Amino acid sequence: MKLENATALVTGGTRGIGRAIAESLTTAGARVAVTGRDAARLEETARVLNVLPIQADVSNESDVGRTYKQVFDAFGHLDILINNAGYGLFKPLVDTDRAEFDGILQTNVTGAMLMGREAARHFVSRGQGNIVNIASTGAVRGGAKGTAYYASKFALRGMTECWRAELRPHNVRVFLINPSEVITSFAATAGLPQEDHPSKLHSEDIAQMVKAVLEMNDRGFTTELTIFATNPKD
């Protein structure tokens, strides 16, 4: 697709991978809206990137409805949904709290479903569209202390395959992007130690690949893309 003058909605678009994707799309000429829960960070992102800011929680159904209303009021239609909002929690199973577990699933799974459902309704009515789900290498393998986060990404991968089967007849492309470790604030928020190193992935690397898969001619698409650092150093 041609990104110039395309319209895109990026959830969790005020920092990390989401912000890098929003910046990449605006640089390519797209009109972009971003969602986030932090008002100050939204305002700063809107000012710096010249995007439409929408304060919303993707796990809140009324917020999701309001988000799409604001997007349609501003842009008239939508071409691309980037389902990026999410966070992590890494604890041994024996220490995993029910409320924390539910919170991860509400944002990473239910939130993605709610955003994807509304986008799909719009895309089916238009006979075209693109959904990009940002998952993780944790969507294809388990790991110690990953019960909540890995479960959410396995679920997102499964939903992606279901959506793809349903939406391909309507010319809607559904992509899954699986980044490995990326230097963002994600690790600190999830309680994981992380040290930067020139060999590790950065947000702009993921954004570059998202842009690349979207720019392929609409007659085809990359169903799933996994991104690893070539030779990461701890």
* Domains of the chain, start order: 7-227 (3.40.50.720)
Checking if the pLDDT of 226 tops 80, the result is yes
Residue 79 CA from chain centroid, whole number: 15
In whole angstroms, what is the distance from residue 89 CA to residue 153 CA?
Answer: 12
For residue 24, what pLDDT is reported? 98
Three-state DSSP class for residue 32: strand
What strands, in cross-sheet order, belong to the sheet with 80-83? 52-55, 31-36, 7-10, 80-83, 129-134, 172-179, 224-227
Residue 48 CA from chain centroid, whole number: 20
Is 149 designated active site?
Answer: yes
Helix axes 203-215, 16-27, angle to 10 degrees: 50
Residue 188 pLDDT class (50, 70, 90 cuts): low
List, for residues 19-39, the tens digit of each pLDDT value. 999 999 999 999 999 999 999
List, for residues 71-126, the tens digit of each pLDDT value. 999 999 999 999 999 999 999 999 999 999 999 999 999 999 999 999 999 999 99
For residue 190, what pLDDT is reported? 66
Three-state DSSP class for residue 54: strand
| HSE of 145, CA atoms in CB hemisphere, 13 A | 7
Residue 196 pLDDT class (50, 70, 90 cuts): confident
Q: Which residues 6+ apart lie within 8 Å of 219 measured at CB?
A: none
Residue/partner pairs of 188-192 with CB below 8 Å, 24 or more apart: 189/87, 189/88, 190/87, 190/88, 190/89, 190/90, 190/149, 191/89, 191/90, 191/91, 192/88, 192/90
Selection from 200, 155, 167, 160 nearest residue 182 by Cα: 200
Residue 54 pLDDT class (50, 70, 90 cuts): very high
